[in-house]
Chains A and B, each alone.
Chain A
Amino acid sequence: MDRYMRRLESIETFLEIKSSLMEQYDHQIPTLVIPAGTCGQASGANALIRAAKKELLQKKLTRKIRLRVTGCHGFCAMEPSVLVEPQRTFYPKVTPDDIATIIEAVAHGKTVNRLLFIDLETGQRIEIQDDIPFFKKQTRTIMSRNEKVDPIRIHDYIRNGGYEALAKVLSCQNPQSILEEVKASGLRGRGGAGFSTGQKWQLFASQRNGNDKYIICNADEGDPGAYMDRSILEGNPHGIIEGMTIGAYATGATEGIIYVRTEYPLAIKHLNAAIKQARGLGLLGDNILGTKFSFDINIVKGAGAFVCGEETALIQSIEGHMGEPRQRPPFPIVKGLYGRPTMINNVETWANIPLIINMGGRTFVQIGTEGSSGTKIFSLVGKIKNTGLVEVPMGITIKEVVQGIGGGPSGKVKIKAVQTGGPSGGCIPASRFDLTIDYESLKNVGSIMGSGGMIVMDDNTCMVDVAKYFMNFLKDESCGKCFPCRKGTQRMHEILDDISRGRGSSESLELLEELAMAVKDTAMCGLGQTASNPVLSTLRYFRDEYIEHIEKKHCPAGVCKDLITYFISDRCIGCMLCIKACPEGAITGTKKQQHVIDTSKCIKCGTCKDVCKSEAVQTI
């Protein structure tokens, strides 16, 4: 393999290596693909990989069956899973004991029927991954790459067309033409605000303030409930490196920085490995692929501050200060990191760049809608059956995502709303699910696209509690620099807390709305200006829930602890499980007799409800 490890001194050698890697790869050899991103590992992928390796060794099959460990494929609810190429057979929730059976079948060109995915709607078993409704209804231009590459093997990426876009732009030697492609693609920033990427690049390319120019990948994915960036960083780090290198070539940037959350250790590990490999092969560093173009990327780790996702705060943090935002203008693109022109793009935006160069901006713009082109990855989480990462073309309706791909509610109660855009976004009620997903229509209903979190809520979710949750988050994460945000989020949280405890009054809602508008109008940075959205959107669509908390001192969803009482209904079969589980000894009863909760002792921890198998523990 020696010649594959050598530095690539020219574009021609790169293309030769690529062709030879492609030729050598026999697609007919069966391959077990096991996703092992953070969530895959947490659901047991590592044990599965160990079992597979052991089995392949013992049965002397290492030359006949390949094993590929990859990042997340997106169907998180079914992990740990196994995908078998080339047929693309999908096995969900595989245990280490099953793996021997699967390997045995693969060796004989067969499938294991009993382990296949079952479509709950039809009761049918589905063999091929792409036929499963969850996958079938997606357009997986970015996510599909995660399946094909082992993130820590650069040759996997090259064999699948990786760095081809970079080679292409380097051989054209025309940075302006790249800018034109990106502009033609209509790509808009995937970090939330949706600014035109092409315009941003053009503006940055024209900056002439000194010799140093920086580009930054904003991987401080702080929105709770959004994890698509983590999955790209873990599963395909070379895609980001390639995107950034193309961006640098197009705009004349001299240095790149990836600012990544410290909460993502696996992403940091894979990025470090990928950067080292890219440097080793001469795809990063001085004289890339033997050309005159030099560019390098470094990683800066965040330290747990949500506000650092805001671009001026992010720059402060990279410079070693506390992450406080500052007034704009000057915009970072004119005066950013160390006072030099700096362009910041989100992970998913960078990941789209190689695709745009490969397919051409004019083809890319065909995907999605007129104002919002391309695909968007959403993390579909919360009270939904098929939790996972879904990549859909812009313009799809919320209903198609929630029902068609997500498979509907996870429990028995119906879905009430989805929340998009994280703490800066809002809640969209089920009555508006025919809404198409694009930047403008989400804004019109009081939410935002945001980074792509889509949190599903059902009738057991209390909207006052949701608003209180986000406000608690924001008051903790407010950096404290400007008064409206620092005090406004605190006060809004206090009012919401009062309402959730049955202490709200008739003036509470009026005051809350007034405060929300004041913070929106006067806060300094994006975090503060959007902090009111969770409150305003829940007030807009779920006002009756607020009123019920205030007037009837009742939480209809049974969430707000101070307003609910636990009791055991006549469904109780007297199994005594809850009696043993109750940490306060508040439940009494004998075998086969209905148990009773002593409400004076009950701390409303919910443990009894959790252990009860007959759904006898209820709340009023």
Chain B
Amino acid sequence: MEEVEKEKISTIINKYKKDRTYLLAIFQDVQREYRYLPKEAIHFICNELNIPESKGFEVATFYKSLSLTPRGKHTVHVCLGTACHLRGGPNILDTFERELKIKKGETTGDGMFTLESVNCLGACALAPLVRVGDKDFGKTTPGIVQNIIQEFKTGE
């Protein structure tokens, strides 16, 4: 791992006073920085906090919002909460899989999109809901999936 990166991560660790109880918070901050949790970062953090690496990987793999593989520029979250499920959420997910040619949990070859499902985003009145980055799309239909993808492809 390069020195620059180590410095970046050290700043995060120091923000939490090298306290191991903040392991999850440190991981979240590192993930925000890199859009994923690089394995080298976990090695480094565990070393700095003086905890076994197995502990680090245990936490890193337990929580859904942490990812050990690089994420796309945009993460598409298709909500599959109960209300979204009843109102056609699974079809929306299928359509995204078909259009992006990837499965749930994967990232497109060009690194633009990562596709995820989420258990509930708590905006059930707008079911089925899709969140891309921090933008929410309510009452989605298979027909508008293509438009959502285009918006983020061309919007950059």
CB of B141, distance to nearest CB on chain A (Å): 5
Docked pose: A79 CA to B139 CA in angstroms: 13
Q: Bound complex: CA of A479 vs CA of B129, how far in Å?
A: 26
B89-105 Cβ-contact flags toward A at 8 Å (1 or 0): 00100110010000000
Interface residues of B (CB under 8 A from A): 20-25, 27-28, 55, 58-59, 62-66, 80-83, 85-88, 91, 94-95, 98, 118-127, 129, 134, 136-138, 141-143
Nearest A residue to B26 via CB reads A320
Instruction: Give the distance in Å from the alpha carbon of A479 to the alpha carbon of B65 in the complex.
Output: 15
| Bound-complex Cα distance A594 to B80 (A) | 35
| Cβ A379 vs Cβ B124 within 8 A | yes
Chain A residues near B81 (CB, 8 Å)?
Answer: 224-225
Is B124 a contact partner of A381 (Cβ separation < 8 A)?
yes
What residues on A are CB-neighbors of B62 within 8 Å? 305, 322-323, 479
Interface size on A, as a range, is 35 or more
* Complex alpha-carbon distance, A263 and B119, angstroms: 10
* A607/B95 in contact, CB under 8 A: yes
Which residues in chain A, 293-323, are within 8 Å of chain B measured between CB atoms? 300-306, 317-323
Knowing A38-B136, A42-B136, A322-B59 are in contact, say whether A225-B142 is a contact too (CB < 8 A): no
Interface-centre pick from B123, B126, B138 (highest chain A CB count, 10 A)? B123
Task: Find out whether the CB atom of B119 lies under 8 angstroms from the CB atom of A224.
Answer: yes
Please give, as numbers and ranges, the residues of chain A lying within 8 Å of B121 by CB-CB distance. Answer: 38, 263
Q: CB distance A322 to B58 under 8 Å? A: yes
Q: Which residues of B contact A318 (CB under 8 A)?
A: 21
Pairwise interchain contact A306-B125, C-beta atoms closer than 8 A: no
Q: Are A42 and B63 in contact, with the CB atoms below 8 A?
A: no
State whether the Cβ of A569 lies closer than 8 Å to any Cβ in chain B: no
Chosen A-B contacts, 11 in total, with CB atoms closer than 8 Å, are A39-B122, A224-B81, A227-B120, A262-B28, A303-B27, A320-B20, A382-B127, A453-B82, A583-B142, A610-B142, A611-B141
* CB atoms of B59 and A605 under 8 A apart: no
A387 & B120 in contact (Cβ 8 Å cutoff): no
Which chain B positions have C-beta within 8 A of A304?
Answer: 63-65, 118
Which residues between 189 and 233 of chain A lie within 8 Å of chain B, taking CB atoms? 221-227, 230
- When distances are taken between beta carbons in the complex, the residues of chain A under 8 Å from B134 are 265
Query: Which residue in A263, A461, A466 is a CB contact (below 8 Å) of B118?
Result: A263
- Partner of A263 from the list B20, B24, B120 (CB cut-off 8 Å) is B120
The 3 A-B pairs at the shortest CB distance, nearest first, are namely A76-B125, A227-B122, A304-B64
**Which residues in A have their C-beta under 8 angstroms from that of B63?**
302-305, 322-323
In the complex the two chains form, what is the Cα distance from A381 to B129 in whole Å?
13
Interface assignment of A455: CB less than 8 Å from any CB of chain B = yes
A41→B136 contact, CB < 8 A: yes
Is A393 an interface residue, CB under 8 A from the partner? Answer: no
In the complex the two chains form, is B142's CB within 8 Å of A605's CB? yes
With A320-B25, A605-B95 already in contact, 5 other A-B pairs whose C-beta atoms are closer than 8 Å: A38-B122, A42-B136, A224-B80, A455-B82, A611-B143
Distance in angstroms from A407 CB to nearest chain B CB is 13
A15 CB within 8 Å of chain B: no
- Assembly CA distance A206 to B119 (angstroms): 39
Is A542 an interface residue, CB under 8 A from the partner?
A: no
Whether A382 pairs with B83 at a CB distance below 8 angstroms is: yes
- In the complex, A457 has a CB within 8 A of chain B: yes
Q: Is A383 an interface residue (CB 8 A)?
A: yes
The answer to whether A303 and B66 have CB atoms under 8 Å apart is yes
Cβ contacts under 8 Å, A388 to chain B: 125
CA–CA, A583 to B7, complex, Å?
49
Please, how many angstroms separate the alpha-carbon atoms of A336 and B122 in the complex? Answer: 29
Bound complex: CA A225 to CA B27 (Å): 28
Shortest beta-carbon distance from A435 to chain B in Å = 20
Select A607's contact among B20, B55, B142, beta carbons within 8 Å.
B142
Most buried by A among B64, B65, B83, B122: B122
Partner among A42, A300, A319, A469 whose Cβ is within 8 Å of the Cβ of B82: A469
Q: Which residues of B contact A419 (CB under 8 A)?
A: 82
Contacts of B82 in A (CB 8 A): 224-225, 381-382, 419, 422, 453, 455, 469-470
Complex: how many Å from CA A221 to CA B119?
11
| A439 cross-chain contacts in B, Cβ below 8 A | none
Contact of A222 among B55, B119, B136 (CB under 8 A): B119
| Bound form: Cα–Cα A138–B100 in Å | 45
Contact residues in B for A76 (Cβ distance below 8 Å): 123-126
Point out the residues of chain B lying under 8 angstroms from A517, CB to CB.
none
Q: Using known A-B contacts A221-B122, A300-B25, determine if residue A43 contacts B138 with beta carbons closer than 8 Å.
A: yes
CA distance A368 to B9 in the complex (A): 53
User: Is residue A77 contacting chain B, with contact meaning CB distance below 8 A?
Assistant: yes
Q: Are B120 and A225 in contact (CB under 8 A)?
A: yes
- Please measure, in the bound complex, the distance between the C-alpha atom of A387 and the C-alpha atom of B86, giving whole angstroms: 14
> What 1/0 mask marks residues of chain A from 252 to 284 whose CB sits below 8 Å from any chain B CB?
000000000011110000000000000000000
Minimum CB–CB distance from B34 to chain A (whole Å) comes to 16
Which residues of chain A are within 8 angstroms of B91 by Cβ–Cβ distance?
Answer: 605-607
Q: How far is the CB of B130 from chain A (nearest CB, A)?
A: 10
Q: Is the CB of B120 within 8 A of A605?
A: no
Highest count of chain A CB atoms <10 Å: which of B86, B126, B141 = B86
Given A224-B81, A224-B82, A305-B64: A606 and B119 interface contact (C-beta under 8 Å)? no
Question: How far apart are the CA atoms of A457 and B87 in the complex, in Å?
Answer: 10
- Determine the distance from Cα of A43 to Cα of B65 in the docked complex, in whole angstroms: 25
Q: Is A581 an interface residue (CB 8 A)?
A: yes
Kindly state the separation between the CA atoms of A303 and B21 in the bound complex, as whole angstroms. Answer: 15
Contact of B83 among A43, A303, A322, A455 (CB under 8 A): A455
Name A225's closest neighbour in chain B (CB-CB). B82
A387 to B123, alpha carbons, bound, how many Å?
10
Q: Which residue of B lies closest to A337 (CB)?
A: B21
Interface residues of A in 433-457 (CB under 8 A from B): 453, 455, 457
Give min CB distance, A276 to chain B, whole Å: 17
Is there contact, CB below 8 Å, between A42 and B20? no
A473 at the interface (CB under 8 A from B): yes
A303 lies within 8 A of B28 (CB): yes
In the assembled complex, the Cα of A41 lies from the Cα of B137 at a distance in Å of: 10
Which of B28, B55, B118, B125 is within 8 Å of A77, CB to CB? B125
Q: Which of B23, B95, B121 gathers the greatest number of chain A CB atoms within 10 Å? A: B121
- Which chain A residues border B65 with CB–CB below 8 Å? 262, 303-304
CA distance A260 to B125 in the complex (A): 21
- For A230, give its contact among B58, B59, B122 (CB under 8 Å): B122
Partner of A381, one of B24, B64, B127, B142: B127
